[in-house]
Amino acid sequence: MTELDRLLFDNRFTAELPADPDRSNRRRQVHRACFSRVVPTPVSAPKTLAWSPEVADLLGLAPEVCRSEDFAQVFGGNRVPAGADPFAANYGGHQFGGWAGQLGDGRAIALGEVLDRNREHQILQLKGAGPTPYSRMADGRAVLRSSIREFLCSEAMHHLGVATTRALSLVTTGQTVVRDVLYDGNARPEPGAVVCRVAPSFTRFGNFQLPAWRGERDVLEQLVRFTIRTDFAHLAADGFPVLGEAVGSWFDEICTRTAALVVDWMRVGFVHGVLNSDNMSILGMTIDYGPYGWLESFDPGWTPNTTDAGTRRYRFGAQPEVAHWNLVQLANSLLVLTEDPEPLQAGLESYVASYHRGFEAMMAERLGWGSPLQEDDRLLSELFVMLGRTETDQVLFFRDLARVPVDTDGDLPAGALLAPLAGAWYKPEEVVGEVREAVVGWLRSWGRRAAEGGLADDNRRRRMDAVNPRFVLRNYLAQEAIDAAEDGDPSLVAELLDVLRHPYAEQPGRERFSARRPEWARERVGCSMLSCSS
């Protein structure tokens, strides 16, 4: 017995939901089952590259355990700890607007559910741990570059205050994986890795879509009842209500959680990149960090995903509408469980209302205005137009806006208003003439609105700094960490992880991690463009 064998497994998902009776690990269509039992495929030389101290502490794992050889063996997929019940989930989904049928965990294998320090359930899931029945034509593995990106971004998002799955560990496998990064015929071997993802549930919209599409009503009903009882227990606190009634209140909460999540994405400038319905968490968490990106230059039309380059379906500015579309697909799947569609329609309407209320309140806080006012819509529209008139780093602009003096009388010189924002423009030589006049004019309007909000200067700056991060996982920083790690130096991964644990602090001496994107990263693969290849 090791310390990892003492993890308190309580495997509700596999104990209470219908399982695939076929225990063979062969690719196939799996019917009338929520999951298939499957164990990770061992690797040749697992080595722990990084681990999250906060997640380890949540699970009750001491630092010496995380540094142990057994930790690498377990979270590299070579050993299944006592009490675990490994499985891959069965689900479907819409991909890029079209129904894709069965998808499932093709390279993710959950070890099982453990009780954390708070006696709450957390699923430990290994991504890149080998093939499952849902791998289709793939090998079930993941490369180091995508694993570093998922590990760092999971933790970065948590510390930004955005609902997300977490990441416990990043383990290299000692083996290579062949991938074609841009699907252009240039496949090459890359180092492999496994990330241990952690969340109360990895259930997605697609888990409910698949049995509904197949007409497996009994499976769908079992999964809905289980999900409400385990992940939305407050909705069944007085005994499980009639299923048709429960579905309406449950769906409404999914909608409001999803709205809050998307508001936070828009606040920090996160672009998911592949918002298929199978990548939407039933808990309203960010899930599946694939070809994501951070909006550096303000551009609502930007998408980091090369697969999405033609239609830009998943561009930054479209994320609120895409999330709503995915909720519509989930509602359609739940219709078979209720005779009254009105509660589902009400949930969709609550998403729209919740998102708009949340976005308005978020922007008012972000801009130091206090409570939102009706006139803010005009000022926000002017802001977004102004930001697009020259290439503007949106992270630096919003962070440094708190340093711009409030010009209530309109007599401060333009230079005094512009100086705090000098670092936000990629081409400062363009901030002249009409562009300069537009920026200065908006800053004077912003100042009058800030004064109307009634917040004292110190309080306004403090509140703005609490929602506008100084540090995010800039695309080029992630690529620098990947390049170094592939060359055998993982130190930048550890340093970045530490920086991203305090995104709202100034962190003197670490200014380089908040700098604008360098010119070399403008068109670099991994910085400006990514694919689903991992």
Structure tokens at 389: 């008139």
Q: Looking at residue 295, what is its pLDDT?
A: 93
pLDDT, tens digit (0-9, with 9 covering 90-100), for 74-115: 999 999 999 999 999 999 999 999 999 999 999 999 999 999
Helices (H), 369-514: 376-387, 394-401, 414-418, 433-453, 457-465, 475-486, 491-500
* pLDDT of 156 over the 90 cut: yes
> Which long-range contacts (C-beta less than 8 Å, at least 24 apart) are formed by 308-314?
308/96, 308/273, 308/274, 309/529, 311/96, 313/96, 313/97, 314/271, 314/272, 314/273, 314/274, 314/275
- C-alpha–C-alpha distance, residues 487 and 534, integer Å: 18
Is residue 239 within a helix (H) or strand (E), and if so which, with residue range?
A: none
Q: Check residue 162 and report its DSSP letter.
A: -
Residues 125-134 have pLDDT tens digits of 999 999 999 9
- The answer on pLDDT for 231 being more than 60 is yes
Mean pLDDT (the chain, rounded) = 96
Q: Is the pLDDT of residue 271 over 70?
A: yes
At 533 the pLDDT is 59
Confidence band of 73 (pLDDT split at 50, 70, 90): very high
At 157, the pLDDT band (50, 70, 90 cuts) reads: very high
Q: Read off φ and ψ for residue 3, nearest 5 degrees.
A: -60, -35
Cα within 13 Å of Cα(346), Cβ side? 11
What would the pLDDT profile of 412-465 be if each residue is shown by its tens digit? 999 999 999 999 999 999 999 999 999 999 999 999 999 999 999 999 999 999
Q: What is the DSSP letter of 215?
A: T
Range 38-57 burial, b when 16+ CB lie within 10 A, else e: bbbbebeebebbbbbeebbe
Q: Rounded distance, CA 89 to CA 132, Å?
A: 10
Side-chain-side CA neighbours of residue 396 (13 Å): 22
454-480 mean pLDDT = 97
Task: Check pLDDT > 90 for residue 531.
Answer: no
pLDDT at position 237 is: 80
d(CA 416, CA 394): 20
Mind telling me the catalytic residues?
278
Predicted TM-score (pTM) of the model is 0.97
Residue 34 pLDDT: 98
Which residues pair with residue 50 across a beta bridge? Answer: 170
Q: Any residues with CB less than 8 A from the CB of 326 and at least 6 apart, and which?
A: 94, 205, 275, 276, 277, 280
Spell out where 200-288 has E strands. Answer: 270-271
Element (H, E) at 267: helix 243-268
pLDDT band (50, 70, 90) for residue 183: confident
Burial (CB < 10 A; 0-12, 13-18, 19+), residue 184, is: exposed
In the predicted model, what is the mean pLDDT of residues 482-508? Answer: 97
1-29 per-position pLDDT tens digit: 899 999 999 999 999 999 999 999 999 99
Place of tokens 């540090």: 471
Report how far residue 48's alpha carbon sits from residue 69's, in angstroms, rounded to the nearest whole number. 8
Percent pLDDT > 90 in the chain is 90
For residues 282 and 199, the answer to whether their CB atoms sit within 8 Å is no
Flag the least confident range among 3-12, 52-61, 198-207, 400-409: 400-409
pLDDT digits (tens, 9 = 90+) for 357-386: 999 999 999 999 999 999 999 999 999 999
